[in-house]
Amino acid sequence: MSGRGSARVGRPSALPGGRYDPPPLVVTAETSTTVHFHGEDGRQFEYKIDQLPLTDWHQPLASAWATRIGASGGLRTLASTKNAWGVLGRFMRFLDQMPWPPRTPSSLMPQHVDSFYRDRARRTTRHRAGVELRSLSLIFGLAPLRELVPPRTLDRMRVRVFGYGLRPGTSGYSDAEFSRVLTAARTDIKALQQRLEAPSDADAVSALRTGRVTLPAVSAPRYMRNRREIARQVFATRDDLYPMLVLLVATTGWNLEVMKELPAEYRLIEGKAVEVDLVKRRRGSRNWHHTVTWEIGAPGRELSTPGGVYLLLHRLMEPARKFLESPGFWAVWHSYPIGGDAQTECRNPFGKGLDASLRWSRWTQRHDLRADASANDRAETQPLQLSGNRLKTSVDVRRTRQFGGHLPSAARSNTTAVLFSNYLAGDKTTIAWAHEVVSDAFTDVERAAYDAHRRALQKTGRLKLSIRPTSVLVQGRGSEPGAQLKSSDAELESQTAWSSCSDHDHHPLTGKRCQTSFLDCFHCANSVITGDHLPRVLSLLDSLELRRGDLSESDWWTRYGSVWMAIREDVLPKFSEQEVARAHEQRPADSLLDIVEPRWERP
């Protein structure tokens, strides 16, 4: 080729010579069936299908498993494949131990699946058993197992058959708890910076050069303590992982598993941001990598921005990183050497597995981090239980509040549905905040509707509606039960649907005969509401409430909100509770709302 752009019309791109045959995912020999895994996280593994019981299952299992963990499958990281492999192994061993095990996939019956579910639910929980059954259904739903296993058995594997559903996410930390966790993490990282500034010990300088701490042999406890103190002068250690992970999750908003697989490669953008390629699990096939751009921030603010934290930790672990066989972001000193002849004591703690035997309680106890006191006993506080899920939930809750509850804007590392169902739905602070927001919004809508009613009434020349209670609603003050005293004849001359009109021929605004809707009478200076009208007004109130099911909230408030507020705020407070209760009993079935809204106008 002659350089960039040498291919053009009539001149195709150069191709390598010879034929390329990719290696098969499933290697079958006379004595073994092996499935090779090459993950998106760069890790590789070989799964020995022949180590499972029930020999006649091996070939279809190997083909389905190769599809599940292959390039188009849903499992593309080593940790996820090992979890699913553990479930598959337990299921096959369980079948093999049954009195009459299914020797072939076609003989697998629904009762076998039921028995496995009950056994796992008894040993763990129903939720965990449902998760394992869902994992099996995703494997057995692939060819050739889906053609061999009876359809009713496949249906039985679907977890909804057992009443299993996703649990809402756990609640995050309160503002005070979250603040204490971040303060402890930042304190530890600042101490780590000062610790690694300039080693003066000769043994520390030697360790920095060789990646290994060598000391004369002494008693075991003292020997290990001395080695650890020397290594701490030049390397980050396992104890430093806890504050590092806390700060990364808190500033980036990504979950703990993604942070454990951070790459060492990055791109600096004009000194203001850093671009990193992340591996995100459970995103579906062909969607495992996600490029993010993190702000670095101003000097001195490194511990408050995602890009600043990433670059700072990258620099602090650089002395140990140069001794790794496969360079990665994470590099700490470990007390036991690895690597054969190299004898290096620096390693990636998450190189082989993402667990790394982290014990969060050790870090929280060292800082005496405690949960908020309960409402019942404020004197007693329990040790804070720190976990990556609760930490991420706390971050998502605060981000959602920042965007005013708008989930599409708040969703950063998950979809909107996952953000709500897995992180926000089960958080107590989110629920309380949402109730407060809805209450405030409803109050604002009510206030706006009432203000509209007052403005309309003021335009007609009156500040308040004319309310004149009559004896029909004052039973118990000397009148016989059921007695009714009508209003004056003058007031009854111009009856409307729910009130009387003092001057129907002269509207306050136009001076002409009134042509407006009867609903507008609640905003008119000529309107007179007496106790005789109250039963029909209450019937109207009921009808307005029923219309909520026919209209959207916005349309309902626009159409009926001002009338609804006028009745509740100007009419009903003028009567006693006994008067309103008696009028409620006497309210007619027909509210006459159809008079102002003919059937063809109804929503």
Q: What is the CA radius of gyration of the chain?
A: 37
**pLDDT given at position 512:** 84
Is residue 566 predicted with pLDDT exceeding 90?
no
Q: Which helix (H) or strand (E) holds 279?
A: strand 273-279
- Mean pLDDT value across residues 314-332: 89
Q: Give me the pLDDT at residue 4, please.
A: 46
DSSP for 141-161 reads: TSTTHHHHS-HHHHHHHSGGG
DSSP letter for 532, please.
T
Residue position matching structure tokens 């009443």 = 163
The segment with the largest mean pLDDT, out of 9-13, 119-123, 198-202, 507-511, is: 119-123
Give pLDDT, residue 379: 54
Lowest-pLDDT choice from 64-68, 135-139, 258-262, 325-329: 325-329
Q: At what angle do helices 202-210 and 220-231 cross, to 10 degrees?
A: 70
| Residue bearing the bigger pLDDT, 98 or 429 | 98
Label residues 357-384 b or e (16+ Cβ within 10 Å = b): ebebeebbeebebebeeeeeeeeeeeeb
H/E element holding 33? strand 33-38
**Residue 163: pLDDT above 70?**
no
Q: What is the DSSP-derived secondary structure letter of residue 315?
A: H
d(CA 462, CA 524): 8
Residue 579 pLDDT more than 70? yes
The confidence score (pLDDT) of residue 62 equals 93
Give every CB contact of residue 165 below 8 A, 6+ residues apart in sequence.
none
Comparison of pLDDT for 217 and 271, the residue scoring more: 271
C-beta separation of 53 from 61 below 8 A? no
Number of helical (H) and strand (E) elements in the chain, helices listed first:
23, 11
Q: Which residues pair with 332 in a beta bridge?
A: 347
pLDDT at 480: 40
Using CA atoms of 424, 425, 427, 428 in order, give the dihedral in degrees to the nearest 10. 130
Higher pLDDT, 24 or 153: 153
Contact of 364 with 269, CB cutoff 8 Å = no
Q: What is the mean pLDDT of the chain?
A: 80
Between the ranges 177-181, 324-328, 471-475, where is the mean pLDDT highest?
A: 177-181
* pLDDT exceeds 90 at position 311: yes
> In this structure, what DSSP letter does residue 298 have?
S
| Greater model confidence, 595 or 156 | 156
Q: Which of 269, 252, 270 is nearest to 261 (CA)?
A: 252
Highest mean pLDDT among 143-157, 345-359, 479-493, 510-524: 143-157
pLDDT at residue 102 above 90? Answer: yes
Residue type, 87: V
Query: Which of the 8 DSSP states describes residue 63?
Result: H
Tell me: pLDDT of 73 over 60.
Answer: yes
Please determine, for residue 348, whether its predicted confidence score (pLDDT) is greater than 80.
yes
Type and span of the H or E element at 336: strand 332-338
Residue-level pLDDT at 274: 94
- pLDDT at residue 160 above 50? yes
Whether the predicted pLDDT of 3 surpasses 60:
no
Q: Averaging pLDDT over each range in 3-12, 308-317, 521-530, which range is the top one? A: 308-317
CB 397 within 8 A of CB 175: no
Q: Rounded to whole angstroms, how far apart are CA atoms 134 and 140?
A: 10
More confident residue, 148 or 375: 148
pLDDT for res 230: 87
pLDDT confidence of residue 483: 39
Q: How confident is the model at residue 597 (pLDDT cuts 50, 70, 90)?
A: confident
Cis peptide before 144 (omega within 30 of 0): yes
The whole-angstrom separation of Cα 67 and Cα 305 is 40
Q: What is the pLDDT of residue 2?
A: 44
Contact indicator for 450, 569 with CB cutoff of 8 Å: yes
In the chain, what are the domain boundaries? 26-162, 175-196+235-366, 442-601
- pLDDT for 602 beyond 60: no
Lowest mean pLDDT among 297-301, 411-415, 503-507: 411-415
CA–CA dist 564, 581 (Å, integer): 18
**pLDDT (0 to 100) of residue 23:** 62
Q: Answer for the pair 259, 309: CB distance below 8 angstroms, yes or no.
A: no
Q: At 288, is the pLDDT very low, low, confident or very high (cuts 50, 70, 90)? A: low
pLDDT at position 159 over 80: no
- CA–CA distance, 153 with 158 (Å, rounded to integer): 9
Say how far residue 227 (Cα) sits from the centre of its chain: 43
Q: Kindly state the average pLDDT of the residues 553-558.
A: 84
Q: What percent of the chain has pLDDT over 90?
A: 28
- When comparing pLDDT for 427 and 122, which is higher? 122
Supply the pLDDT for residue 122: 92
Structure tokens at 567: 């009745």
Where does the pLDDT of residue 489 fall: very low under 50, low under 70, confident under 90, or very high at 90 and above? very low
> Would you state the structure tokens that stand for residue 307, as one six-digit string?
């890009």
Residues in the chain: 603
Classify the phi-psi angles of 82: left when phi > 0, otherwise alpha if psi is within -120 to 50, otherwise beta.
alpha
Q: What is the pLDDT of residue 165?
A: 43
More confident residue, 14 or 495: 495
pLDDT, average across residues 90-105: 93
Given this model, what pLDDT does residue 65 score? 94
The answer to whether 531 and 473 have CB atoms below 8 angstroms apart is yes
Q: What pLDDT shows up at residue 317?
A: 94
Residue 464 pLDDT > 80 = no
Any idea which of 10-14, 162-166, 209-213, 441-445 has the lowest mean pLDDT? 162-166
% of the chain with per-residue pLDDT over 70: 77
Examine the pLDDT at 420 and tell me if it is beyond 80. Answer: no
Q: What is the mean pLDDT of residues 27-49?
A: 78
Count of other CB atoms within 10 angstroms of residue 16: 6
Give, in degrees to the nearest 5, the angle at Cα 168 between 111 and 245.
110
Nearest to 75 by CA among 40, 49, 35: 40
